[in-house]
Structure 1
Amino acid sequence: MAQYEFSLVLAHPPERRRVEKVWGVQPDLSDKPDKRKVIVRREASSLAEAVVGAIEDLEAASLRPVRVCDGDWLTLADVAARIGRSREIVRLWSIGRQGPGGFPPPLNPGCDTRFYSWAEVAHWLRRRMGYELPALNPELVVANLLLQARRLAPQIRNREPLSALLAPYLAARPAGVVQSLPAGRAEHARSSASASARPAA
């Protein structure tokens, strides 16, 4: 068992007393608190178990989590700051004018301010540029996408075609986020996640 810390965003600002009744969950008490964010610190056998357990416990207390804070979206300036390089050199990597090529595409192409996935960029930096970077927690990215999938699934009339996107992952990765859930949770997550095109890390 290890202790994990992460943040969740709720649908509505909760009463502090209700949040503090949930094991290992506290309101955001930072210098610039977000009234809808809660901080989770709890022990579990894996990060995936900790995230799912916290979500289920909050829902049992009638508090609805809508996002997992994964820190995955960032600009080229953010990338540069994380690795101690200039924004210009990172920009040149991103357009293929320097470096080995293959820089991950932006998450919102065509926009004035472009965002990139840190999970994808860090993978590229390690494999293509030889950077030694701290281990990432793709479980948070995956959990956030699955949580959004569950929330948006009721809006999709024909969900069946989208299930094909997740089926190979479920078959090939028995230790993934969905499979790590207890039986009841896993079935619910499979049903919800298969309705979206976005599970990820």
Structure 2
Amino acid sequence: MNMYWFDVNVAGPATEAHAEALGEVLTAADGIDATIQAGRDGGSVMFSREADDAVQAIISAVMDVEKAGMTAIGVTEDLVTAEDIADRARVTAASARYWISGDRGPGDFPAPRVARPKASLYSWADVSAWLHGAKLGEVDHVAVETARACALISAALVVRRGLAELPKHERPLVARLVA
């Protein structure tokens, strides 16, 4: 079994009642492996879930979130700074900054998800796949696997929401496309 780190994004504010319900769902299962972060427009539930593979980990987490009364709208991996990248890849901060600037490595480092003058945030999924492909740093295959699973399951959640909004006669057409 591997440990998978990811966030399940939820619609609307994640309330204290949701947190309690999620705690009950997780306690009844294998134990608490999540933390809720609430915002005005929505929230996320951060998971560190052990499973045989990333798809199993993420889908079971989505199901737990929904059992607790929240609506899952997406799944994302960690956002990281240059310093986080260096820590996770077990290299110096200078090495990570050189990769980001393109001064070292194969180039085409992933663009930041949140660009900031001093501490941009990068998708760990994108960065870990880039590092793995470039054979730089020490990147676990689990990070790359989690990235792929997050993208796929997020797309499935978007399709699920979209199907509910379509007229009934059009739903089978879209369902056939994704089947």
| TM-score (ref. length: structure 1) | 0.53
Letter in structure 1 aligned against 2:86: A
Structure with the largest fraction of helix: 2
Structure of higher RCO (CA pairs closer than 8 Å, 6+ residues apart): 2
Of 68, 77, 86, the residue aligned with 1:70 is: 77
Size of the aligned set, in residue pairs, is: 157
SS, match of residue 98 in structure 2: helix
Where does the alignment leave 5 or more consecutive residues of structure 1 unmatched?
A: 158-186, 192-201
Residues 5 and 41, structure 1, Cα contact 8 Å, conserved in 2: yes
| TM-score (ref. length: structure 2) | 0.58
Are residues 1:141 and 2:150 paired? yes
Deviations 1:1-51 (A, max 9, x none): x68665545441215146414653766787xx74663757576x7432443
Deviations 1:52-109 (A, max 9, x none): 24424543553223453522x2111211122233323322222222333232222245
Letter in structure 1 aligned against 2:129: H
Where does the alignment leave 5 or more consecutive residues of structure 2 unmatched?
A: 167-174
- Report the CA distance shift for 1:76/1:144 in structure 2 as closer, same or farther (over 3 A): farther
- What is the match of residue 24 of structure 1? 29
Structure with the largest fraction of strand: 2
Of 54, 79, 103, the residue aligned with 1:97 is: 103
- Report the CA distance shift for 1:114/1:89 in structure 2 as closer, same or farther (over 3 A): same
Residue identity over aligned pairs, in percent, reads 21
- Report the CA distance shift for 1:143/1:126 in structure 2 as closer, same or farther (over 3 A): closer
Two-structure CA RMSD over aligned residues (Å): 4.4
